[in-house]
Structure formats: structure tokens, C-alpha cells
Amino acid sequence: MLEALPTAFLFFLGALILPVLPRGPARAVLLLIVPVIAAFLVYTLPLGNLVQVEFFGFTLDLMRVDKLSRIFALIFCIAAFLGNLYAWHVKDLVQQMAALLYAGAAIGAVFAGDLITLFFYWEGTAISSVFLIWARRTEGAFHTGMRYLVIQIGSGVILLAGVILNYADTGSIAFEHMELGTPATWLIFLAFGIKCAFPLLHNWLQDSYPAATVTGTVILSAFTTKLAVYSLARGFAGTEILIYIGAIMTLFPIFYAVIENDLRRVLAYSLNNQLGFMVVGIGIGTELALNGTAAHAFAHILYKALLFMSVGAVLFRTGTAKGSELGGLYKTMPLTMIFCVVGAASISAFPLFSGFVTKSLILSAAAKEHYYIIWGILLFASAGVFHHSGIKIPYFAFFAHDSGLRPKEAPWHMLWAMGLASFLCIAVGVYPAPLYALLPFEVSYDAYTTTHVITQLQLLFFSALAFTVLMRTGIYPPELKSVNLDFDWTYRRLLPTLLGWIAKPVRAIFQGLDTFKTRTMKGMILHLYNAFGPRGRTSQFWPTGAMVLWIAILLGVTLLVNYAS
């Protein structure tokens, strides 16, 4: 019976029940039970198209279960559980419902077997997730949420246009592999790229995620961008342009993350960097590369959530996530510090941590397909992520200098969420076989070869040495109280300036036209009055009836002219 119920509907049902329950533990327990049941169902569901419905003459596949959709749906369920456990203390019904609806929409999109179903869930993730930003209930959060919503809804509109054109071209709504080359496929590709934060389309991520609530940022980090990664893997695997887009994505966030003061923004840039690895894997498109993409998405959701949770715990206890205002917190938040270090080691791909056994699949695929320059870029990006996330986050939050802050340790439920995420990061790194068994294709890969381990350790140690030298010599950018702009400079500074320049002459033109119209109409009315008024020349020899008729005609013409202008 449960096979006939789309997994996403469990989350929607939970969101409907939630307001009926009394505020407190009952709601928090429901928030944990729903993803646990969903994860069990996802793991045990048979492969195939399980749920189909008719919709205005179209057959919609609501539950296409295969190994690619299963691994993404499973990690989404785990992320929902961890995020809701981390948010146990939250009593805000808006955030609780948004978390369930958001996770449900993302899982529904992963299982969508057709583009129409994908579109509905695609927009569902946009609408539900924005409430995690608005939940801060500040003016800044409202404006940030509006910008976020415009981008996300815009992505959906572009997707819908692509779906319509694709149906006109092919007569099919199936969500399957596509080749770039038609307006339809380019529009769909662009819609996926916006949600995946492609270069120049990425600033919504750094703008919105740090603006969400402490718990909302953790939940946001798991779904939207990884849904886009899944969609690209499903629809555009082997599209070569993705290799170069992904390579750029791994590079440019490094430099912004290094100079960023807000540690949640550092993690947002780092998220962008890690997405680049996945996009490269999709572009390569081989079985090894796609396995690497799926595995790295799985691991990334865990360690990125762990890092956001640790920084969020610091923000929760101190009221700030600015590197310039933190430091010395290891004294009173030792467990949070340990969990942060586990997340940092995982994202840096230290041996025995999750990133080591997943990122290497993509690097190996790039080398195997002779993309040596891309392989070198990914290697450089790996060293860079160690700088800005592996070292910078724990160092400036917990060790850099004594800020004088002595906050309490994070609440128990936050520690439990971070502890479970840390356990999974280490478990996947130590014993990756269960994760490899979930991947879309059969895996015959050993990450723990002598060459790979030594190469990775050399990379990390020399990267750490470079960080130390830069810090000791004062070259490393200090943590300054500042706001850094990258491509958002175009719409925050350049666009308003250009509009200001354009507005002045345009305003002058319209004012001139309005003045001309006013003067002309006044002159015309005065002329008509002099000619046809009581003392006008015409009234001296025309009958009164004719005068009234002409005045009525001229008045009508005047009204028409006014209306037309």
C-alpha cells in the first residue's frame, strides 16, 4: 500500500498534521518520525515506475525509482532528520512546516519521472524554502527572501518554458537524458544551472543562506543545489560544457571565501566550490564520474550540514558568526569545536573521512578520461578548500585569538545532530562499501591505495604549510569587519548607478512632454473660448443652437485628445 503513496506525500501529510499537535515535544517528534519512515521506504522500495496518474491528458510518473534517484532521496531523508533534530528547540510553526514541505518537495522532484511533475516540485522547493529566510522576521531578511524568491521562481518559469518547447519539439514530457542544441534544452539547462549556482548565477546562494535562521541555513544547505545536481545528472550527463563550468565553480569561490569575514558566507562560497566538483563529474559523464558525483553529493550534504551546524551553534550562543569577533571558544564549546574539526577534515578530504573516498572518484575519472588540466584545477581547488573551510572555519571560530567570549556549550539536541553527522562522516570515510553499494553503477574502486593516500596527505600538509607561512608573514587576509561583493556588485551598485544616469534624461523628457501637452491644451482651449465663447466672434452672428452644438463637438474632441494622450 505504501508503495502506491509517493514518498513526498509523507512530508506533506506531516505538515498538515503539525498545526493540530500541541506546541512542544509532540511536534518535534513528528518532525523526526516522518524522515525516518520516509528513509525506510526509500531504501526498501522496488525499482521501477511505481505511481502514475493522469493529468489533463498527460501521464505523470510520480515515483520513478532507480539507483540514481534512490541515493539522492535517501540522503535528503537523512538531512531532513538531522536538520529537524538540530532545530528541536524551535517552536516556530512556520519554520517547522517549511522544513517538512521543503524536504518533501525536494524528494518528490528526485522521484519525478516527467518534466511536469518536476516543475511542480521545483517551484515547491522555492516557495517553501523562502520561509526559512523570512522566519528571522527582520527587514533585511524580508528583502533577502524576496531576492531569493525572484531567482528561484524565475528558474521555475524558465524550466516551464523549456518543458513547453520540448513537448512541442518531441511530443514527450519524459524527464530523461537530453542533448543541448535546441531552445528547449538550453532553457531547461539554464533553469538547472540557476539552482546549481553556476558562475554569474550564483550570488543568490551567498546572499540568502547566511540570511536564514540558525537552523534554516542548515536545512537550506541540503536540498536546493543538490536537487539541481541530480537534475543535471539525470538530464545532461556527458555534456562537455559542464566540465569547464564546474572547473570555474571550483576556483573562483576560493578567493572570495579567503577574504570573507562572515563564517556562514565562507561556508556558502565553499558550498559553491564543492558543487563544482559534482558538475565536473556530470560533464565527464562516465560511470565512474557519475558515481563520484552521487557519492560526493551524499558526503557533501553531511559534512556541509555539520559545518553549518557548528557555526550555527556558535551563532546561537554568541550572537555572531563574524571571524573578527570570535576566537577562543574551544575553552567553553569543546564538543562543538571537535565536531567542526570533523566537518573540516571531511570537506578537506583527509584519509578516513568521507570527502576522501568520494572526491577521489571524480578526480580519478578526470585523469582516466585524460582531462589533465581539469584534474590539475580540481587538485588546486582541493588545496583551496582546505584553506578556507578546513582551516579557516575552525581556526577563526575557536582558536585564532581570545575574543573574551565564554558561551555555554551548544544545546544537547544540537550536539546530538552534530554527533550523528560526524559519525556518518567518519563511518563513510573508514568503510565506504555501503555507500558505494548505493551508487548508480557498479563500483570497483579502492580509494585507499598507497599512491592516493600519500598524494592527498602531501597536498594537505603543503597546503597547511602555506597557510602557516601566510599567517606568520601577515600576508593572509585578516578578518575585517566588512561586506564583500562579487558579481552581486552588478545589481547592488552598477545597475542602480546606471538606472540613475538613465532616469535623469528620461525624467526630463517626460517632464518636457507633459509641459508641452499642458501648454498646448491650455492654448487650444483659450483659442476655442475666444472664438466660440459668449463674447467670441462667432457668437455674434451664429444662432445659439448652432453654438451649443459646436461647443459640444469641440468639447468631445478635447476629451478624446486628453484621453488619448
* 3-class secondary-structure state, position 262: strand
Q: Note whether 213 and 343 are within 8 A (CB).
A: no
Q: Is 193 within a domain?
A: no
Q: Is 104 within a domain?
A: no
Q: Note whether 281 and 299 are within 8 A (CB).
A: no
For the chain, the straight-line distance linking the first and the last C-alpha, in angstroms and rounded, comes to: 66
Query: Could you give the CA distance from residue 66 to residue 69 in angstroms, rounded to a whole number?
Result: 6
Q: Note whether 297 and 275 are within 8 A (CB).
A: no
One-character DSSP codes across 298-309: HHHHHHHHHHHH
Task: Provide the residue range defining the domain that includes 536.
Answer: 493-564
Q: Is 346 within a domain?
A: yes
Q: Assess whether 249 and 345 both reside in one domain.
A: yes
For every one of its 565 residues, what pLDDT tens digit does the chain have, with 9 covering 90 and above?
A: 555 689 999 999 999 999 999 888 889 999 999 999 999 999 999 998 888 898 888 889 999 999 999 999 999 999 999 999 999 999 889 999 999 999 999 999 999 999 999 999 999 999 999 999 999 989 989 999 999 999 999 999 999 999 999 999 998 999 999 999 899 999 999 999 999 999 988 888 988 999 999 999 999 999 999 999 999 999 999 999 999 999 999 998 888 888 888 899 999 999 999 999 999 999 999 999 999 999 999 999 999 999 999 999 999 999 888 888 888 898 999 999 999 999 999 999 899 999 999 999 999 999 999 999 999 999 988 888 887 788 888 988 888 778 788 889 999 999 999 999 999 999 999 999 999 999 999 988 888 888 888 888 888 888 888 777 877 777 666 666 666 666 666 766 777 777 778 877 877 787 777 777 677 777 776 666 666 556 666 555 555 566 666 677 777 777 776 666 5
Q: Note whether 294 and 233 are within 8 A (CB).
A: yes
Q: Note whether 69 and 27 are within 8 A (CB).
A: no
Final residue before a domain boundary, out of 441, 469, 487: 487
Query: Could you give the CA distance from residue 151 to residue 143 in angstroms, rounded to a whole number?
Result: 13
Cα dihedral 66→68→74→77 (10° resolution): -110
pLDDT at 220: 93
How does the average pLDDT of the chain come out, rounded? 88
pLDDT at 465: 84
Q: Is 37 within a domain?
A: no
Q: Is 62 within a domain?
A: no
Q: Assess whether 544 and 436 both reside in one domain.
A: no
Query: Could you give the CA distance from residue 200 to residue 493 in angstroms, rounded to a whole number?
Result: 16
pLDDT at 428: 95
Q: Assess whether 472 and 505 both reside in one domain.
A: no
Per the structure, the count of domains in the chain is: 2
Query: Could you give the CA distance from residue 440 to residue 73 in angstroms, rounded to a whole number?
Result: 13
Partners of 322 in beta bridges: 262
Q: Assess whether 435 and 522 both reside in one domain.
A: no
Q: Assess whether 288 and 368 both reside in one domain.
A: yes
Final residue before a domain boundary, out of 461, 487, 513: 487
Residue 297 grid cell: 553529493
Residue 5 grid cell: 503513496
Q: Assess whether 513 and 478 both reside in one domain.
A: no
Q: Note whether 209 and 264 are within 8 A (CB).
A: yes
- Give me Rg for the CA atoms of the chain: 30
Residue 315 grid cell: 551563532
Partners of 54 in beta bridges: 59
Q: Assess whether 453 and 548 both reside in one domain.
A: no
pTM for this structure?
A: 0.86
Q: Assess whether 513 and 479 both reside in one domain.
A: no
Q: Assess whether 537 and 448 both reside in one domain.
A: no
Q: Assess whether 422 and 537 both reside in one domain.
A: no
Final residue before a domain boundary, out of 453, 487, 521: 487
Q: Is 95 within a domain?
A: no
Cα angle, residue 488 at apex, residues 490 and 220 outer, rounded to 5°: 155
Which residues in 307-365 belong to E strands, given as ranges? Answer: none
Residue whose entry in the numeric block shows the C-alpha cell 516522518? 34
pLDDT tens, 429-439?
Answer: 999 999 999 99
Q: Assess whether 530 and 451 both reside in one domain.
A: no
Q: Is 482 within a domain?
A: yes
Q: Assess whether 254 and 386 both reside in one domain.
A: yes
Q: Is 537 within a domain?
A: yes
* 3-class secondary-structure state, position 64: strand
pLDDT at 535: 62
pLDDT at 416: 96
